[in-house]
Amino acid sequence: MKTILKNLCSTTGIPPYLLRNNYIEFKMMLVRLYGKLPFQRRKLKKIHKQPNIKLNFGCGLTHYSDWINIDGFFAKHVDIVLDLRRSLPFADNTVDYCYSEHFLEHLYPIEGMKHLSEVLRILKPGGVYRVVVPAGIRFAEKYINNDNDFFKLAFPWCDRPIEAVYDIVNFGGEHRNIFDLPQLNHMGKKVGFSLIKESAVNASQSPSLQIDKSDPQRVAESLYVEFVKAVK
């Protein structure tokens, strides 16, 4: 499909991002329709009967056996296919933990707020949403400080630090937001989380949430934050 789109853009002069965005929206429309099929609804009902529900959003190629792994594409390791920009098909106060690693930056700011609001709704009181995102502001700070060693570790595939700064923010048009701790704190408080706290790789107090990828490159480029729902 990528080759077809590339050839079409080359022949017609249509900007690649225009076709890519339309293609993504078309796929997400199919995903939303797929979610309304009876067997998908039965799958969700079965999940709701589990004693402990843990949701891994934007799982990509990662699959955790004791989690419900969710993404917007069809693959054997994806348990539920959803458009995560929309309302989540889970009942209020039913989910124990939520997790995402390098997912939230793929949502536009208004979509990210919607997503956090939905996660707050479905979490049980005291539930936690652990979020790992690219530390975009860290890249800018390291660039200003001429910290070339950081870029060699965090983004070794880029030849120049300024290219790494651009790539972490843009990522070929796939990244649509940029974060630091104050921004995540603002977003979490605005939707109603009672506590937003910075963490470190696999440093969650909950063993269930100690599932971060721990290779040095991923750790260097990442910011770790937990959103906690108030206990009523």
Q: Which of 67, 54, 63, 65 is nearest to 98 (CA)?
A: 54
> Which ranges constitute the DSSP H helices of the chain?
2-12, 16-34, 38-48, 109-122, 136-144, 148-154, 161-170, 181-191, 216-221
Round to whole Å and give the CA distance between 144 and 106.
Answer: 25
What pLDDT sits at residue 5?
Answer: 64
Round to whole Å and give the CA distance between 87 and 118.
Answer: 6
C-alpha distances out from residue 70 to 38, 66, 109, 215, Å? 18, 13, 20, 23
Q: Which of 70, 50, 174 is nearest to 119 (CA)?
A: 70
Mode of pairing for the β-strands spanning 68-71 and 95-101: unpaired
Q: How many helices (H) and strands (E) does the chain have?
A: 9, 7
Contacts of 147 (CB under 8 A, 6+ apart): none
Full pLDDT tens readout for the chain, 232 residues: 667 767 777 788 877 777 777 878 888 898 899 888 998 899 999 999 999 999 999 999 999 989 999 999 888 899 999 999 999 999 999 999 999 999 999 999 999 999 999 999 999 999 999 999 999 999 999 999 999 999 999 999 999 999 999 999 999 889 999 999 999 999 999 999 999 999 999 999 999 999 999 999 999 999 999 999 999 7
What pLDDT sits at residue 23?
Answer: 79
Order across the sheet with 54-57: list the strands.
80-81, 68-71, 54-57, 95-101, 123-134, 222-228, 195-198
Residue 113 φ then ψ, to 5°: -65, -40
Tracing tokens 């605005």 back to the chain, one arrives at: 190
Mode of pairing for the β-strands spanning 195-198 and 222-228: antiparallel
Residue ranges of domains in the chain, CATH in brackets: 51-228 (3.40.50.150)
Beta carbons of 127 and 159 less than 8 angstroms apart: no
What pLDDT sits at residue 131?
Answer: 98
